[in-house]
Structure 1
Amino acid sequence: MGTVLQRDAERTRRALLDAAATALRTLGPSVSLDVVALQAGVSKGGLLHHFRSKDELFAGLAGEWMARFDAAVQTHLDPADAEPGRLCRAHIRAAFDDTVTGDDQLWSDPAVLAALLAVPEVLRRARESGVRWRSELSADGLHPDRVLLISRVLDGMWMTELLEGRADLDERHRTRDILLGLTRDTGPMIAAE
């Protein structure tokens, strides 16, 4: 009996996160918990059982998106690639993978993103994820300057697309290929003087 209840709880939580993402995209960050519960087909009490507040629901959305990106990086790890920079290359490929980032209007809407990042727990999770990724990428065998440059270009690309809209496909592919090229050499970017 416990397994059935657990699966129902997981389904309900998933339905709430999906409904919250849809409501945020269509109605904006001022969406009420009542609307989310209604769209998920769950009572408000059921929603509050899983997420005690709107901030907690937003933090759940952020955590789910970060976990999805982490999983995408794992799927982009090339089993035949044993060279330094392997994780960095997978991270770059995931960052440019439209199945991960392309359709997600929730994370590409500046107003929604600003509202989400105003939630302390969302911001804490985002910062924690950034620190973890910098640490993992720094341990990937590339010179720290290469990792720094790649990380900052990815951040800049994401911010540019957030503010200006999606870059054309050729520019995205060229940027991805340049970054991947930077992972093929492990030494410093600039010769020491």
Structure 2
Amino acid sequence: MAQARAPRADAVRNRKKILDAAREQITLNGPDTGMDEIAAAAGVAVGTLYRHFPTKTDLVAAVQAEYSGRVAADVEAARQRAADGSPAFDEITAFLARVVEATATNHAVKAAARTLGAHAVDADAEHRALTALADLITTATADGDLHPDVTVDDIYLLISAAPTDHPPTHRARWLTLVLTGLTTHTR
């Protein structure tokens, strides 16, 4: 069986431009943003957009999958920094702050995904994120900085309850309150 060819460099660039434009346009203009507007913002022809993503549902699902991949890479980098000596609790704190902010800016895309029924699941990214976060939790608990009963599910629950549709000052206050409940130290 012949091996599949890697995508051409221009196709990879176009796909990235389309995903970036979709995220930006949906965030700015809401879930009803048209494919024509997304193509124009990406600087590609509408046909190019449709070659990559035959439907808007496919496009929004790909944006969501890309987001999952970025979250996984972020928490893996946090785990590596903790392995290199950074306090694991500080890495969890910074990770939570980044995810809440990313989720806040990705809020419109999530709404579009719900509206369109675009349920992209990147099982590999989810597994990578879960594993890295579990490692960080284990390290922070062993360091005595995190309550010993905190789990990955708890962190996911906190992220899902974050006030992502509120202003940054409210999100920062929420994070301060949540972190107080996670740590074993008085801050």
User: TM-score, normalised to structure 2's length?
Assistant: 0.68
- Tell me the CA shift for residue 153 of structure 1: 2.8
Alignment match, 1:102: 101
Amino acid at match of 1:107: N
Distance 1:153 1:67, change over 3 A: same
Query: Contact 2:39 / 2:49 at 8 angstroms: preserved in 1?
Result: yes
Unmatched 5+ stretches in structure 2? 142-146
- Tell me the CA shift for residue 135 of structure 1: 6.8
Amino acid at match of 1:118: T
Amino acid at match of 1:108: H
**How many matched pairs?**
169
Alignment match, 1:80: 84
Alignment of 1:17-56 (within 5 A): 17-56=19-58
Distance 1:168 1:63, change over 3 A: closer
Distance 1:48 1:41, change over 3 A: same
Query: Matches of 1:150 and 1:29 in 2, distance apart?
Result: 28
- Tell me the CA shift for residue 67 of structure 1: 1.0
Query: Contact 1:93 / 1:176 at 8 angstroms: preserved in 2?
Result: no
Query: Matches of 2:164 and 2:103 in 1, distance apart?
Result: 11
Which digits, 9 at most, give the CA deviation of each residue in 1:28-51, with x for residues without a partner? 111111111111111111111111
- Tell me the CA shift for residue 71 of structure 1: 1.1
Query: Matches of 1:127 and 1:164 in 2, distance apart?
Result: 30
Alignment match, 1:189: none
Alignment match, 2:175: 172
Tell me, what secondary structure is at the counterpart of 1:31?
coil
- Tell me the CA shift for residue 10 of structure 1: 1.1
Tell me, what secondary structure is at the counterpart of 1:125?
coil
Alignment match, 1:93: 94
Query: Matches of 1:53 and 1:106 in 2, distance apart?
Result: 23
% identity of equivalent residues: 22
Amino acid at match of 1:153: L
RMSD across aligned C-alpha pairs, in angstroms?
3.7
Query: Matches of 2:95 and 2:86 in 1, distance apart?
Result: 18
Structure 1 stretch displaced more, 20-29 or 58-67: 20-29
Query: Contact 2:23 / 2:63 at 8 angstroms: preserved in 1?
Result: yes
Query: Contact 1:96 / 1:176 at 8 angstroms: preserved in 2?
Result: no
Unmatched 5+ stretches in structure 1? 185-193
Alignment match, 1:187: none
Amino acid at match of 1:146: V
Query: Contact 1:34 / 1:44 at 8 angstroms: preserved in 2?
Result: yes
Which digits, 9 at most, give the CA deviation of each residue in 1:96-132, with x for residues without a partner? 13xx5436654234xx53222234342x528996687
Amino acid at match of 1:61: V
Distance 1:127 1:89, change over 3 A: farther
Query: Matches of 2:173 and 2:32 in 1, distance apart?
Result: 37
Q: Does 1:59 align with 2:56?
A: no
Query: Contact 1:17 / 1:60 at 8 angstroms: preserved in 2?
Result: yes
Q: Does 1:117 align with 2:120?
A: no
Q: Does 1:152 align with 2:157?
A: yes
